[in-house]
């Protein structure tokens, strides 16, 4: 094995053991004790007081790119990911052009291959032409289809769901029933025009149209009732850092806090945090939704919804762990192994032989303030998170055979060389250990 080792990561694992993690050929070759010989391999020693574990995985991000590159592109968005300890992202299809046909998917795949600094996959949009569903479902970067509220009634959804089911791919759902949500006019709180009941109703509706055997994932659930409804059908679910942190009271602070689904009243947020601490949510995803600082300084009735958070999601989770809301190990799993499993990403969120060589190093007691002690690589800047005090920070990210982020600074050349489709392992290129 030693002849194939490119890098050895030495540090303390989540279970407290000291270990040497042998990486080579893009995967984990072995995890051994601290005295295992390293031969002539390069060694990265994690700093004292840190913990090493599988790198984070974010299954809901909007990298934008293409004609929306002025908001974010695959380079700036994945720099934010790397700075946040995230080694794999799954990009959303509401781009311009939207990823609702094979041609647009091809353009997106080309941008990701050229610009991404971390591993990547894609959720395809629901095709306008149902005849496109097979080619899109079969695209190697596609983990499944994303259904927005406007898609629930479309003929494309039935075709996409059938193809996803046939290929073992997933349907990821934005759960807000279109019949129950409206635009917010002046002075109305988000929850008044987009009530929580719209989420539960959406879950029932999707359950009624999903073919048997289809894996369904309910994303950015904002209430415990939504999580319960999802679980009742065997669907997986995720919650966002912003719905766990901010409340509808923050909406008074302006467009930075406008997001769909909206921020909820404090008692609902409390319930959501509790639901996460008791294991009702399967995963955490950032729903990183960048818009320009100019757009987000507009009037709340007209400005675009969305909160960026890819660089900060791990910090927010680690902060919840530092407060005792959940253990460090559970917080870590919620943003690595669990989302990887829900999205169907093989080889991520694990450190066993054959898993992707993707390791995060976290200092659970390092404190800082977003916007001051962070790099803020996203074109959207820190946005709503500016001034948030965190405790717990990813201090390094190892991808392939390289340290691609250290102390928040992303080494772009190394990262660009190492990044590859996150679906490479799924497709059977798993190196023998």
Beta strands in 162-266 (DSSP E): 170-173, 215-218, 236-239
Q: How far is the CB of 96 from ligand DOR (least distance, A)?
A: 11
**Which H or E run includes 404?**
strand 402-406
Residue 135 beta carbon to ligand DOR: minimum distance, rounded to whole angstroms: 24
Pairing of strands 27-32, 236-239: unpaired
Contact partner, 94, from Zn ion, ligand DOR, none, Cβ < 5-8 Å per class? ligand DOR
Least CB distance to ligand DOR at residue 255 (A)? 11
Distances (CA, A) of 217 to 24, 53, 118, 167, 214: 33, 25, 23, 16, 10
Nearest to 423 by CA among 143, 236, 104, 138: 143
Reading phi first (left if > 0) and then psi (alpha if -120 to 50, else beta), residue 168 is in left
For the bound state, the minimum distance from the C-beta of residue 99 to Zn ion, rounded and expressed in Å, comes to: 13
* Options 84, 127, 300, 305; binder of ligand DOR; rule CB under 6 A: 305
- Residue 219 binds: one of Zn ion, ligand DOR, none (C-beta under 5 to 8 A by kind): none
Interactions with ligand DOR, residue window 52-71 (CB under 6 A) = 62
Residue (62 or 75) nearer to ligand DOR, CB: 62
Minimal CB distance to ligand DOR: which residue? 306
Partner in contact with 305, chosen from ligand DOR, Zn ion, none, beta carbon below 5 to 8 Å by kind: ligand DOR
Spatial distance between the Cα atoms of 290 and 77, rounded to a whole number of angstroms: 9
Say which entry of ligand DOR, Zn ion, none residue 109 contacts (CB below 5 to 8 A, set by partner kind): none
The first and second tokens of residue 263, run together, are: 């921020």
Is 54 or 305 the residue whose CB approaches ligand DOR more closely? 305
Q: Which residues 6+ apart lie within 8 Å of 27 measured at CB?
A: 347, 353, 354, 355, 356, 357, 425, 430, 431, 433
What number of helices (H) and strands (E) belong to the chain?
A: 13, 17
Give the C-alpha separation, 287 to 91, whole Å. 10
CA-to-CA separations, 8 to 165, 274, 353, 357, 358, in angstroms, rounded: 40, 38, 13, 10, 12
CA distances from 250 to 190, 259, 260, 295 (A): 11, 11, 14, 18
Is there binding between residue 426 and ligand DOR (CB under 6 A)? no
Dihedrals phi, psi of 282, to nearest 5 degrees: -80, -30
Please identify, among the stretches 20-28, 304-312, 336-344, 353-361, the one whose residues bind ligand DOR according to the rule CB under 6 A. Answer: 304-312
Q: Which of 73, 119, 287, 363 is catalytic?
A: 287
Pick 50 or 104: Cβ nearer Zn ion? 104
Instruction: Give me the least distance between CB of 206 and ligand DOR, in Å please.
Output: 15
**For 240-326, where are the alpha helices, taking DSSP H only?**
241-245, 266-277, 313-322
Min CB(247)–Zn ion separation in Å = 20
Which one of residues 224, 306, 349, 408 is an interface residue with ligand DOR (CB under 6 A)? 306
Q: What is the distance between the alpha carbons of residues 78 and 309, in angstroms, rounded to a whole number?
A: 12
* Known active-site residue 287: yes
**Options 55, 105, 255, 259; binder of ligand DOR; rule CB under 6 A:** 259
- The contact pattern for ligand DOR, residues 90-109, with x = CB under 6 A and - = no contact, is ----x---------------
User: Residue 139 or 288: which CB sits closer to ligand DOR?
Assistant: 288
Q: Which does 306 bind (CB under 5 to 8 A by kind): Zn ion, ligand DOR, none?
A: ligand DOR
Query: Can you give the binding site for Zn ion, defined by CB under 5 A?
Result: 287
One symbol per residue from 148 to 187: x for binding ligand DOR (CB under 6 A), - otherwise; what is it?
A: --------------------------x-------------
CA angle 181, 342, 334 (to 5 degrees): 90
* Gap between the terminal Cα atoms of the chain: 8
Q: In this chain, which of 172, 200, 202, 289 binds ligand DOR, going by CB under 6 A?
A: 289
CA 90 to chain centre: 6
Q: Looking at beta carbons only, is 107 or 328 nearer to ligand DOR?
A: 107
Size of the site for ligand DOR (CB under 6 A): 9
Binding part of the chain for ligand DOR, among 102-110, 155-163, 301-309, 357-365 by CB under 6 A, reads 301-309
Q: Which two tokens stand for residue 20?
A: 């040497």
**Most distant pair of Cα atoms in the chain: their distance:** 67
Residue among 251 and 287 whose Cβ is closer to Zn ion? 287
Binding positions for ligand DOR, rule: CB under 6 A: 62, 94, 174, 259-260, 289, 304-306
Q: Which positions are annotated as active-site residues?
A: 287
């Amino acid at each position: 094995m030693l002849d194939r080792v490119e890098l050895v990561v030495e540090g303390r694992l989540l279970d407290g053991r000291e270990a040497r993690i042998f990486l080579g050929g893009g995967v984990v070759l072995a995890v051994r004790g601290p005295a295992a010989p390293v031969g002539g391999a390069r060694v990265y020693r994690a700093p004292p007081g840190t913990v090493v574990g599988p790198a984070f995985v974010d299954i809901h991000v909007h990298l934008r790119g293409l004609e929306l590159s002025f908001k974010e592109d695959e380079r700036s968005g994945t720099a934010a990911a790397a700075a946040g300890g995230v080694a794999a992202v799954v990009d959303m299809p509401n781009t311009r052009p939207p990823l609702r046909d094979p041609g647009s998917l091809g353009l997106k795949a080309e941008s990701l291959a050229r610009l991404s600094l971390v591993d990547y996959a894609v959720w395809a949009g629901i095709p306008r032409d149902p005849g496109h569903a097979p080619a899109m479902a079969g695209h190697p970067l596609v983990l499944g289809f994303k259904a927005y509220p406007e898609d629930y009634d479309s003929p494309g959804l039935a075709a996409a769901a059938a193809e996803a089911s046939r290929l073992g791919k997933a349907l990821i759902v934005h759960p807000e029933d279109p019949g129950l949500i409206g635009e917010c006019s002046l002075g109305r709180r988000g929850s008044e025009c987009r009530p929580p009941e719209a989420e539960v109703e959406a879950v029932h509706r999707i359950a009624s149209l999903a073919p048997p055997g289809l894996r369904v994932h309910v994303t950015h659930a904002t209430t415990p009732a939504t999580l319960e409804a999802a679980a009742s059908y065997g669907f997986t679910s995720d919650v966002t850092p912003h719905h766990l942190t901010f409340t509808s009271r923050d909406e008074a602070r302006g467009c930075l806090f406008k997001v769909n689904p909206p921020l909820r009243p404090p008692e609902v947020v409390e319930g959501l945090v509790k639901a996460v601490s008791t294991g009702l949510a399967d995963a955490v995803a950032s729903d990183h939704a960048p818009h320009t600082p100019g757009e987000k300084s507009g009037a709340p009735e007209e400005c675009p919804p969305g909160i960026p958070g890819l660089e900060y999601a791990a910090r927010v989770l680690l902060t919840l762990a530092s407060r005792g809301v959940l253990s460090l190990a559970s917080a870590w799993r919620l943003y690595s192994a669990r989302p990887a499993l829900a999205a169907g990403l093989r080889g991520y969120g694990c450190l066993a032989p054959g898993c992707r060589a993707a390791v995060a190093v976290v200092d659970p007691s390092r404190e800082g303030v977003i916007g001051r002690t962070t790099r803020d690589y996203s074109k959207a800047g820190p946005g709503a998170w500016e001034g948030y005090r965190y405790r717990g920070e990813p201090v390094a990210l190892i991808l392939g055979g390289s340290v691609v982020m250290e102390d928040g600074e992303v080494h772009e050349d190394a990262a660009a060389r190492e990044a590859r489709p996150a679906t490479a392992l799924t497709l059977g290129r798993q190196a023998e250990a």
